[in-house]
Chain A
Amino acid sequence: MQLKRVLTLRTVVATSAGLTLASSSFVAAVMVANYVLGDSAWIAILIGGALCFLAAACFSELNGMLPTAAGIRLYFSRAFNDQVSLVVSLLYMLIVVVGVVGVESYIISQALHEVVPSIPPYFWIVTMLLLVTVMNLRGVKIAGVFQDVVTYALIAVLVFIGVFALYKVGFKLNTPLAPGGAVGIINAVALGVFLFVGFEWVTPLVEEVTQVKQIYKGMMIALGILSVVYAVFTTAMTAVVPKEVLLASPVPQLVFARTVLGGFGASLMVVMILAASMKTFNAGIISVSRFMYASAREHVLPAVFSKISMRYFTPWVSIITLFIIGLLASGLTTLTKNYQTLVGLAAAMESIVYTMAGLAVISLRRKEPDKERPYLIKGGYLIPGITVLVFAILAMAVLATDLTALLYMSGAFVVALVYVKTAVPRLKKKYETRRPAARRRRPARTAAGSKEGK
């Protein structure tokens, strides 16, 4: 028998690429360009994309072996242990939410503030977050087709503006293979990885496709498309607008579009920023609120997060908590204007997760050698090994050059570790002590239990 509704490869590609194509990606693209000399940002971007192919291969093997929407929570739990899995999952969700919501909301608010200067930027942040929160509370989902259309339209617009700009300025590569010193390149590649953040968030869809291979095919296609799109667009941005001007703006894509196409370009880019950010916000809140709900149900977060709306079947406490965290994150970003630290923080966290994905592949091959693997990375331990090495270096490079990001990361890690070591055992104990009274033993078990008791 077949599932009634299955996803197509088109939707898998759009989901993988769509989660990645956030408005904040262009801030990272400009930061990448700033680390390398001349017009060679494309080299760092393509290397970043190629490295993500390695991570995608690791995720594909894990996802094929353990096809579940629980994702890294299950992979790392099997490969290492439950505590490691929990610490990393909590850290990942927290940093991604704070990083992505903080940066995205800041960018939207700045873009809209440019269009309507009389309205303060924070008004836009509150409005957007409220809108997405209400949609999530009411269980309103952006239709799959609409998400596909937005993603493919965004890709088409970026390629069009990029190619048009390069044509308009008669672009020629002046320094095609001279990106500068090694430190600059390593940092550029590390931030280049941020451009692809989220491509692996498509793995939970494994339960909605007919064949597991559609997921890894989709991830690879998305990474290929994104590598080209980012490389073209970033090269065009830096060819048309001076790097220092782009770097000074939280919405470099808007500055670039206005320079190339005037008012029409700016309007088009504002629409694209809005669509991309709404899509990213929405996907982020859905994923993280479901993660919080599931964690509360397995008694690793307080039970209050498993409260559901009786009307809309949505985890309302988790959604409202995320709204508050989002407001705080974006408020702090607006006050400090330090959105670049959040980009670095998210890039480092993503690199850590990719490092652990490589380690998980190696560990599971040793622990469960006979388990069926629909997708097996060829070449033994070579690709997982390179993935571990490369992403560990990239994570360290980002954190070593941004001490504020290192401080935030260390603080968040300590909090997550202490929470998992102290609060989680208490929550589980509390549940266990309460549970026996409500437990509905099966008759057969009760009989077996009483026999054993005698």
Chain B
Amino acid sequence: MKGKTWSEFYASGRCWGIALVLMLVLTACQPAMAATPLPMYDTGVDPNAWVVVPAGSFLSGQFNTPINLEHAFAIMVTDVTVDQYVRFLNQALADGTLRLQGDQVVGFYPGDPFHGAKHEEEIPAQDYRFVPLNDPAAPFVYQENAFTPKAGYAHHPMTYVSWFGAWGYCHYYGYRLPSGLEWEKAARGEDGRPYPWGWELTPANANYYSSGDPFEDMRTVGSRTTPVGFYNGKTYDGFVTLDSPSPYGLYDMAGNVWQWVGDITQGMHYRFMRGGSKDNYPPDLRVWVTNNATPVYYGPGTGFRCVREP
């Protein structure tokens, strides 16, 4: 700066370069990504429980369109857990329903009708990926010819599962994936509410992006799944939750993980998901919001639950 005024220094453009470098250095100064330990809590909610949703009309969608569902159905109270899914994997691998192929577990899907619509991809009858085999971020591991949940993840919702993997699980046990309408009625009941528990969303109701639950660390790993039924009115190491079931007693119908539904739309190979996830902002947790992906997609924020005849 010797012999130069501030305005000259500024005009030289050097100050901008210094500012930019400083900014990059400062933003890089964050804690190295560490495997933040996963808290362990028993929610007390039974992942094997089912409830019956009665036949009848309900208000569907953002604009509360009256829809009559003419059949009753039973639906799982929670998402399928990692523990439940690895038992399926082990059993289905043993009996030959599934097989290992490269770095994935594959199973047969009988295919969909193809209409040749714009952007539509054909889904012929063949084997498809159910889950990846060696994804280090998956909540399960495959060692010594067996799948096991990673430590602490047994009662978390199953993730890293494709639509085919969700379909295959339900199909294996004689269940099926819920349709979008079934899912929505189970989530919101009949009174047109936007969230399963009522009309307002707080961080004590559901797991969403930066909602402050004990599992998330926004500096490193970001938002993580919570065990199924976590938002049940219990307090976990000072984190107070509100009991947030749907009118029929289902938990986690908003937030935590997107849930695959079974709808197959003509002219479209994408599969829909409902409910929003740990990685979404609150508007995506409204019960009518949908997401979709190719049926082979899997990720850390997508799970499912099944329905069956009551």
Q: Do A and B come from one complex?
A: no
Which A residues contact B (CB, under 8 angstroms)?
none
Which B residues contact A (CB, under 8 angstroms)?
none
